[in-house]
Structure 1
Amino acid sequence: MEEDFDRELKVLVVGNGGVGKTSMIRRFAKGIYTDEYKKTIGVDFLEKALFVDELQEEVRFMLWDTAGQEEFDAITRTYYRGAGAAVIAFSTTDRASFDAVAMWKSKVEAECGEIAVALVQNKVDLVDQAVVSATEVETLARKLGLKLYRTCVKEGINVTEVFVYLAELNQRKQQAAQPPVEMLPSKPKVLSAEPAENSITVDSGDNRAQTVDLAPSKKRTKGKKSLKDRMSSCSVA
């Protein structure tokens, strides 16, 4: 039988080839790591169910691993549609992958619009081979308006945190996109089902009941005094 999930989230993992995209989703989805590099042809797909504490929901992550090589661009971009989040990954030891980050962000936005996106610097354990500085990475993240995660897929550092963040950000974006509920002024309500004769009770609008007397005023209906009555009330000196 199929399991019911409170939320499903399609996540793209994009970036140049060889930065560790496949290793990242395998580590997250299956908890395994292999240092054997095998180029992704087109796209690969994995799933992972995870309970996200902040959302208090079980989320099914549908992870799409896309090829980073240009020759597969026409194929992989067809899988962008319908994504609710994306990881843009680059490698600490690959300068070209870092320089391509802005291009990958533009591709995601062109196909998916303003979805939840995180910037991931992978292979931070190879700091002695780094070709990008921490300062320029942080500057780029601020410029692009992306949250930066430094990960080590080999050791499983910060991998799950990336996807949990994307699930939370996706929900916030969905809530922000919902139109506000317009509050219309309420009409006076008749509170008494059987009002007393010549009166009704209405809601005045501030949680107080007000009784409106419909009976004509006595002063308005009081008859005029007769000439005899008026003369009898006068005294003559």
Structure 2
Amino acid sequence: MSGLSWHYVFKFIITGDAAVGKSSLLIRLTDQRFLVNPDPTLGVEFGSKLIEIPEENKVIKLQCWDTAGTESFRSITRSYYRGAAGCLLVYDVTSRRSFTNARMWLADVREHADPHLTCILVGNKVDLCEAEVAGSDPASLPPSALKQREVPTEEARLWAQEEGLLFVEASAKSGQNVELAFEQAAKDILQKIRNGVFDDNRSPGVKLSKPADNSLSLEPTKAKGSCC
């Protein structure tokens, strides 16, 4: 493994309604921090991260494109779907509407992305549910911390199974299951490479690393920018 920084580069997209926490999930992954009031995504923002899959003896570089969740940017975000190997389809567990709209986002991804793309359904903001903060004194919590869960875990899990999606609930605020979501999707992509579903030489969302001057490293690399 000497001379390699990573074994594969996987292109990921993060999609779903506005305000479900897509940007917060990306920032948590790449920077290990949480922004209380992140600016709305205008078009597309980018971040990257090196993750290790020990059981596969692989280091994967994730190139993640965080897409805007509003109709006005739909034509821009669709262009980033093309060639993606992985997708985080995000909804807010305290917003029934965001879960209902996930069906629309999934249909959009399947229309414009690689047909073999690995998609994981991510129920974000579990930290806002009353069940998660039941042990706290309500008087000491801000109103935003006392929201009702509107999407039961089992309902989301069942829909994910019906659609052939991976599934996890997460919190960008606490970091709960954020890396796990990307790791599960990356493992599934690796399995598809082994099965010949993705060609690691010609599939645009999967690139095999080329030898570099530096040795294998798990230090994360990250960048952030906007397409417009």
Q: TM-score, normalised by structure 1?
A: 0.71
> What SS does the aligned partner of 2:187 have?
helix
Q: Which residue of 2 aligns with 1:195?
A: none
2-side partners of 1:99 and 1:120: how far apart? 13
Q: Which residue of 1 aligns with 2:157?
A: 138
Q: Which residue of 1 aligns with 2:178?
A: 159
2-side partners of 1:64 and 1:134: how far apart? 26
**Aligned-residue RMSD, C-alpha:** 1.8
1-side partners of 2:11 and 2:153: how far apart? 30
Q: 4+ residue runs of structure 1 moved beyond 6 angstroms? A: none
Q: Which residue of 1 aligns with 2:145?
A: none
Residues 1:122 and 2:124 aligned together: yes
Identity of aligned residues (%): 31
1:57-108 Cα distance to aligned partner (Å, 9 max, x none)? 1111001000010110001111111211000000012111100112211111
Q: Which runs of 5+ in 2 are unaligned?
A: 131-147, 199-228
Q: Which residue of 2 aligns with 1:220?
A: none
Alpha-carbon deviation of 1:178? 5.5
The structure whose RCO (Cα within 8 Å, separation 6+) is larger is 2
Q: Is the 8 A contact 1:18 1:37 kept in 2?
A: no
- Equivalent residue letter for 2:163: L
Residues 170-209 of structure 1: pairs in structure 2 closer than 5 A: 170-177=189-196
Q: Which residue of 2 aligns with 1:26?
A: 27
- Equivalent residue letter for 1:117: C
* Largest Rg, 1 or 2: 1
- Judging changes above 3 Å, is the alpha-carbon distance between structure 1 residues 82 and 153 closer, same or farther for their aligned structure 2 residues? same
Q: Which residue of 2 aligns with 1:60?
A: 61
1:129-165 Cα distance to aligned partner (Å, 9 max, x none)? 2122233222212221212101011111000011111
Residues 15-54 of structure 1: pairs in structure 2 closer than 5 A: 15-54=16-55
Residues 55-94 of structure 1: pairs in structure 2 closer than 5 A: 55-94=56-95
Q: TM-score, normalised by structure 2?
A: 0.74
1-side partners of 2:21 and 2:169: how far apart? 13
- Judging changes above 3 Å, is the alpha-carbon distance between structure 1 residues 177 and 150 closer, same or farther for their aligned structure 2 residues? same
2-side partners of 1:51 and 1:141: how far apart? 25
- Judging changes above 3 Å, is the alpha-carbon distance between structure 1 residues 120 and 178 closer, same or farther for their aligned structure 2 residues? closer
- Equivalent residue letter for 1:68: G
Q: Is the 8 A contact 1:14 1:68 kept in 2?
A: yes
Q: Is the 8 A contact 1:11 1:62 kept in 2?
A: yes
- Equivalent residue letter for 1:59: I
Q: Is the 8 A contact 2:118 2:165 kept in 1?
A: no
Aligned residues: 178
Q: Is the 8 A contact 1:54 1:168 kept in 2?
A: no
- Equivalent residue letter for 2:173: K
> What SS does the aligned partner of 1:68 have?
coil
2-side partners of 1:170 and 1:138: how far apart? 20
Q: Which residue of 1 aligns with 2:225?
A: none
Q: Is the 8 A contact 1:8 1:62 kept in 2?
A: yes
Q: Which runs of 5+ in 1 are unaligned?
A: 180-237
